[in-house]
Amino acid sequence: GDGGEPDHVLDAHWGDLFDILGYDLADSADKLSITFYWQAAQPTDISYKVFVHLIDEDTGSVVTQADYIPRNWTYPTNTWQPGEIIQDTVEIPIENLPPGTYRLQFGMYDPDTSQRLEVFSSEGNRYPDDAVFLETFRHE
């Protein structure tokens, strides 16, 4: 995660607008800290929101989530410049999470319509529910 290179590489592309290069993940007893490495491909007039969902593996239900504008509400997608790499860190509180196995997934949506932005792999396979899987983690 230092020197501008993500620890974990991802392959996901939101149409012609955004790519994700990868992410870093740090966890402590009370929170998960995720840093996304976005890359803007072309300008957009829409300020998309990022969603991050923590899903219970047993029930499939979302137990906690974050919905926000990148860089803590300070750097909306309609101001991104093509080719720019945007490091964006979000913290997910987990202090009240019951023990179990959870999976993290994320994506983007248009807050005016609540429609998720379609996201594809390089091979052109669309991600289910337009949500990109990050990883599974165990909370004791």
Q: What is the pLDDT of residues 29-85, one digit of tens each?
A: 899 999 999 999 999 999 999 999 999 999 999 999 999 999 999 999 999 999 999
Q: Give the per-residue pLDDT at 112.
A: 97
pTM: predicted TM-score of the whole model, two decimal places: 0.94
Query: Mean pLDDT of all residues in the chain?
Result: 95
Radius of gyration of the chain (CA): 15
Neighbours of 12 (CB within 10 A): 20
- Binned at pLDDT 50, 70 and 90, residue 1 comes out as low
Per-residue pLDDT at 2 exceeds 80: no
Place of tokens 């720019």: 84
CA nearest to 64, candidates 27, 93, 107? 93
Tens digits of residue pLDDT in 84-107? 999 999 999 999 999 999 999 999
Q: What is the pLDDT of residue 85?
A: 96
Task: Supply the pLDDT for residue 42.
Answer: 96
Which residue's entry shows tokens 């020197």? 3
The residue ranges of DSSP E strands in 2-45, in sequence order, are: 8-14, 18-27, 31-40
Is residue 3 over pLDDT 90? no
Tell me, letter by letter, the H, E, C secondary structure of the chain. Answer: CCCCCCCEEEEEEECCCEEEEEEEEEECCCEEEEEEEEEECCCCCCCCEEEEEEEECCCCCEEEEEEECHHHHCCCHHHCCCCCEEEEEEEEECCCCCCEEEEEEEEEEECCCCEECCCECCCCCECHHHCEEEEEEEEC
Q: Which of the 8 DSSP states describes residue 80? A: P
* Confidence label for 24 from pLDDT (cuts 50, 70 and 90): very high
For 8-139, which CATH class? mainly beta
pLDDT at 140: 86
What does the pLDDT read at residue 4? Answer: 77
